[in-house]
Structures are given as structure tokens and as C-alpha cells.
Amino acid sequence: MELESLLAAAHALAPQIVEWRRTLHRWPELAFTEHRTAALVAARLHEWGIPHETEVAQTGVVGQIGAAAGPTIALRADMDALPIPEENDVPYRSERPGLMHACGHDAHTAMLLAAARLLKEHEAELPGRVKFIFQPAEEVIPDEGGSGAWRMIAEGVLDDVDAIVGLHVDPTLPTGQIGIRPGPIMAAADRFELTIMGKAAHGAHPYQGVDAIVLAAQVVTAAQTLVSRRIPANKEAVVTFGTIHGGNKENIICDRVVLTGTVRTFEPAVRDQLEAELEQVASLVRALGGDYRLRYLRGSPPVNNDGLLTGFVSRVARQVVGAEQVVDIPKSTGGEDFAWYQQKTRGTFVRLGCQAPTDEPPRALHTPTFDLDEAALPLGAALLAAVALRWLQEHGRKG
């Protein structure tokens, strides 16, 4: 079948894609509690006669169509929302106080449903299988292995998969554009918790104690030199302290400060180096009479796009949205647990522009005013379906 007719079919389905997205948007659910979301997904798949499993990695859903004889391509959407109170005054505003789909996962779920619907109509033409992975819990920077993708892999979701494609809405790109980049595109997202111990004393007699606040200040300042002085200028990295808590009263020398933060890197060597150097920076409190405990927790690895598969998706995207609408995107120091799938099989992660012409400045992801241009939804659905179809057509015969 031609990709133009796939795009036309996606446009015809647009009112329903919008309706699914709005239903999900009204009822955002946090990581591993996506019960209603999963029920909506399962109900649609059931209605269309697509075999599926539920409760995969707790609240995930996995559907599958096509011929078992050929290769398998997986398409992935994430389903969870964020603990952010929505400020948009729209008819489909979140009905759950404090929770919001501020990362567009409602749209990802709706688009993957639409892709399943579109491909199901051409199931007889598929020389292989398409797996639809509706994943829970992307929005956690977990202790190693805690997020939805990792747990789905642990349950065997990728065991028979030869390639995987994921897509994320991007409010920095206008609707109609697809953002592509081979190689590393998103960072490893680690986090740490640093406890600094001093010795309490009367605030009037600091020499009798060890001031944990002063120690923490030294550590925070010293840590600013990690990226600027220790990492080569042609490597990217971020070290951020996000919280600092300590002290009980203005006239007591504080004996304990807890700091938390995140480290973002693209290369394993830089990641290892920063973990070791953060420890070294923390240890300077010992020279000053204090002590510390550092817990460094590795999250997802970098999202690293397979070169061949990315080139393939780029070619299909040009056919779907037009060559001039497919753009190169820069690396982002954001993290994405899609990276876990790429540890197991070749994968690529693409960006779907969703900035409405009226959105100036763009609405940022993870903010209370994030929203997306729903005109992007049929494009994303058509792209996912087209990639799966063409990939199977190219690889199905080779086996």
C-alpha cells in the first residue's frame, strides 16, 4: 500500500485520536498506576481484534499483529503523567488535582493506538509482526532497573523483537516537522543524595562544632569545577544540585545537610569519571573535620540511535511529511528510559513537532502550561504505522 493512503487514513481517524488523547489527558495517572489508561488501551485493542497482554510490568499493555514467520518490529508509547497541577483552561483539563500529562504521554498513547488501528487493516500484507508496547512509568529516575521500560524488558517483551521505534512530542518544533538524529541524542540520567555530617554547637560558639552548612557550601562550589575543569571541552555533561536542606534554628550550628542532584552524560567514560569525581569532591569535608555519605544511583543510559535504522526512519518520514519537514535535531541532556530498549535491540527515538502556530514562546514540557497542537497526532500515527509497514516490507523477505 502507498504511504499517502496511510496518511489519509490517519487524517480520517483524527477525531478519534483527539478524543482518546483528551480522555487520557483528563485522567492523568502516575508511574505504575496507569489503570484507567491501560483499560482504555486494552478496550480499543479488544474492539479491533488485536491480541494483547495486560498487566505487563504491572500496568503495561502489549499488543501484536502480523505473521509469526517474519521479523518483528516494535513501536513504543509511554503512558504515565506527572505530579504537576495543570494551569491550562481547556475543556479537556486534568480532572485530578496535582496531576497532569505535561510530557505528552497521553498523545503518545493515542498515536500508538491509532497506528495499531491503521496497521490492523493491512495485517494480511505484513511479512512479519508488529508489536505495540504501551509502557508504564517512564517518568521515574529510578534506582537501576526501576522504570517501566526496564521492567518490560525483564518480563521478556523484547525477546523476539528485531527493531524498536519510539516517538516523543516536541514543542520546540512546529507541527508538521519530524526531528531525527543518529547516535546519542539524550543523556544518561543519574541522581545522587549526599549527606554531610558536622557537629552541633551553639550558634554563638561555632568553634565548638563543625558547621555542616559551611561544608555543604564548599562542596557545592567545588562541584562547579567538575564539568568546567575536569571534563574535556568537547564532551557534554551536567551536574546539578536540585535540593539542599539543613539546619533547625538561626542560633544553632547545623550538624547535617542533605543535598540531592542529577548528573547527565552521553559517554560511559564521562559517566564513570563524574561519579568518581563527585565522591572526591564530597570527601573534602573530611579534611575540614566533617564526614559524608554519598549515594549515587544510576538511571537510564543515554538514548543512542542506531545509525541504519535512523536513516531508514528518516527516509520514511520524508515520504510521510515531505523532505523539507524532516529536520536534524540537537542532542538533549534530558533522559528517557527508551534507552533501555536500545541496550537490547537496535532502536531509534524520533521527535514529533507539536508547537501550534500561536504558541509563542513554545510551551515547555514538564510545565503547568504545557499543551500540544493536536494537528500533530495523525502525523505521528501515520509515521509510526508507515515505519512498521515499510520496515517489514524491506526486512520481511530477507527473513
| 129-135 and 60-66 beta bridge pairing | antiparallel
User: Is there a contact between 129 and 72 (Cβ–Cβ < 8 Å)?
Assistant: yes
138 is an active site residue: yes
**Distance from C-alpha of 182 to C-alpha of 163, rounded to nearest angstrom:** 15
Binding flags for Zn ion, 192-231, as an x/- string (CB under 5 A): ----------------------------------------
Closest distance to Zn ion from the beta carbon of 139 (Å): 5
Interstrand relation of 346-355 and 163-174 (parallel, antiparallel or unpaired): parallel
Q: Angle at Cα 101 formed by Cα 333 and Cα 342, nearest 5°? A: 45
Q: Which residues pair with 179 in a beta bridge?
A: 327, 351
Q: In the complex, what is the shortest distance from the CB of residue 167 to Zn ion, in angstroms, rounded to a whole number?
A: 10
- Closest separation in Å from C-beta 65 to Zn ion: 25
379 Rama sector, left if φ>0, alpha if ψ -120 to 50, beta otherwise: alpha
Q: From the CB of residue 268, how many other CB atoms can be counted at a distance below 10 Å?
A: 11
- The helix/strand/coil state of 319 is helix
Nearer to Zn ion, 103 or 339 (CB): 103
- If DSSP codes are grouped into helix, strand and coil, which group holds residue 305? strand
User: Is 55 among the residues known to form the active site?
Assistant: no
Residue 189 binding Zn ion, by CB under 5 A:
no
Nearer to Zn ion, 87 or 125 (CB): 87
Provide, rounded to whole angstroms, the least separation between the CB of residue 141 and Zn ion.
10
Q: Which is nearer to Zn ion, 139 or 277 (CB)?
A: 139
271 to 18, 36, 192, 311, 349: CA distances (angstroms): 40, 38, 13, 28, 22
Q: Write out the DSSP string of 162-228.
A: SEEEEEEEEEEEETT-EEE-SEEEE-EEEEEEEEEE-B-EETT-GGGSB-HHHHHHHHHHHHHHIII
Which of these segments, 95-103, 241-249, 281-289, 320-328, binds Zn ion (CB under 5 A)? 95-103
Considering only CA atoms, which of 53, 56, 76 is closest in space to residue 130?
76
**103 contributes a contact to Zn ion by CB under 5 A:** yes
Instruction: List all residues 6 or more positions away from 229 whose beta carbon is below 8 Å from its beta carbon.
Output: none
Catalytic residue among 78, 80, 336, 374: 80
Could you tell me the smallest distance in angstroms from the CB atom of residue 331 to Zn ion? 16
Binding segment (CB under 5 A) for Zn ion, from list 34-42, 63-71, 102-110, 325-333: 102-110
Q: Does 254 bind Zn ion (CB under 5 A)?
A: no
Smallest separation, CB 385 to Zn ion (Å): 21
Q: Which span sits near Zn ion by CB under 5 A: 103-111, 117-125, 149-157, 218-226? A: 103-111
> CB 98 → Zn ion: shortest distance, Å?
16
Catalytic residue, from 138, 211, 277, 336: name it: 138
Q: Which stretch binds Zn ion (CB under 5 A): 53-61, 99-107, 154-162, 267-275?
A: 99-107
Q: What's the CA gap between 211 and 270, in Å, rounded? A: 32
Closer of 79 and 103 to Zn ion (Cβ):
103
Query: Looking at beta carbons only, is 60 or 198 nearer to Zn ion?
Result: 60
Of residues 17-36, those binding Zn ion (CB under 5 A): none
Nearest residue relative to Zn ion (C-beta): 103
> Minimum distance from CB of 117 to Zn ion (Å)?
23
Dist CA 9 CA 15 (whole Å): 12
Partners of 82 in the beta sheet?
Answer: 100
* 10/103 with CB nearer Zn ion: 103
Pairing of strands 291-297, 129-135: unpaired
Q: Tell me which residues are annotated as active site.
A: 80, 138
Tell me which residues touch Zn ion (CB under 5 A): 103
